[in-house]
Amino acid sequence: MNWAQKNWLLFQIIFPIVLGSLIYLLFRPKEIVLFKVIGWLGVMPVVQSLRDACSSAKPLLPGWFVFSLPNALWVYSMSVFLITVWREEPRKMIYWLCCGWVIAIGFELLQASEQIPGTFSFVDLGMILTACILSKLLN
């Protein structure tokens, strides 16, 4: 694997996690558990400053961007990571990809059946499936 291929893979793994995390930090409601952890870590003033600086963009963002895209980005990143790790062993790659995808889709379906807290969304489900498909097609 050459330098450009390694950088492309790192971009596909790291960038989605960073972008999804930023969306959560900057635009999600502060009632989610993440903000309790941020408060416990003592970095809430920094995060709040960033949220304030980006607050004018929030009304312009569609709901799917704020509420569905972060999960899809994380699923994409996980999938690319697993594809990369198990590339030389296709059976193991398929196994681990399916495990990750079943967990991601399963959490959404468990929300639909009210087995776990959260809000089921067909948009979330569609974006998760899209992330699964794109990760495999592009890698």
Per-residue model confidence as pLDDT tens digits over 86-107: 999 999 999 999 999 999 999 9
What confidence tens digit (pLDDT) does each residue in 7-64 have? 887 899 999 999 999 999 999 998 888 899 999 999 999 999 999 999 999 999 999 9
User: Tell me, what's the pLDDT at 32?
Assistant: 86
pTM, to two decimals: 0.89
The phi, psi pair for 56, rounded to 5°, reads -70, -20
Tell me the C-alpha distance between 7 and 77, whole Å: 14
The pLDDT of residue 10: 82
Instruction: Compute the 3-state secondary structure of the chain and give helix, strand, coil in percent, each to the nearest 5.
Output: 80, 0, 20
